[in-house]
Structure formats: structure tokens, C-alpha cells
């Protein structure tokens, strides 16, 4: 879902996949995080095995 707050934008992405353990992102999520920070944003990822990712 997409949210707007004045000049800020929020995007929630949720899946029901296999999830992953730990706080170490793979190449793809690291790349997204770096690009988000370069634009002055932030990114949060929550996941656990068998519970999907959001």
C-alpha cells in the first residue's frame, strides 16, 4: 500500500513467502536500502522463517 503525509511517502510491501532469519540482507535488499538512503529515505525489513517478509 502507498501512503502520503505532506511531503513524505510511505510504501508497504508484504509477501507470504518463506521469509529469512537474521538481519543480514542479500544483495538486492542492500542495494534498495542504499538507494533509499541516497534519496534521504529509510527502509525497514521484518522477516522470519516461514512467516513471509514485510
Q: What angle do CA 36, 42, 44 make, to 5 degrees?
A: 110
DSSP, res 11: E
Distance CA 14, CA 34 (A): 20
Contacts of 50 (CB under 8 A, 6+ apart): 18, 19
* pLDDT given for residue 37 in this prediction: 94
Query: φ, ψ for residue 30 (rounded to 5)?
Result: -60, -40
- pLDDT for 48 beyond 90: no
DSSP, res 4: E
H helical segments located in 1-54: 27-38
* pLDDT given for residue 3 in this prediction: 93
- Whole-structure pTM value: 0.70
Kindly report, residue by residue over 4-39, the tens digit of the pLDDT: 999 889 989 999 999 888 767 788 889 999 999 999
Amino acid at each position: 500500500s502507498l501512503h502520503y503525509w505532506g511531503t513524505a511517502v510511505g510504501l508497504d510491501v508484504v509477501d507470504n513467502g518463506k521469509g529469512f532469519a537474521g538481519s543480514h540482507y542479500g544483495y538486492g535488499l542492500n542495494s534498495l536500502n542504499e538507494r533509499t538512503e541516497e534519496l534521504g529515505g529509510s527502509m525497514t525489513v521484518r522477516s522470519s522463517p516461514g512467516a513471509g517478509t514485510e
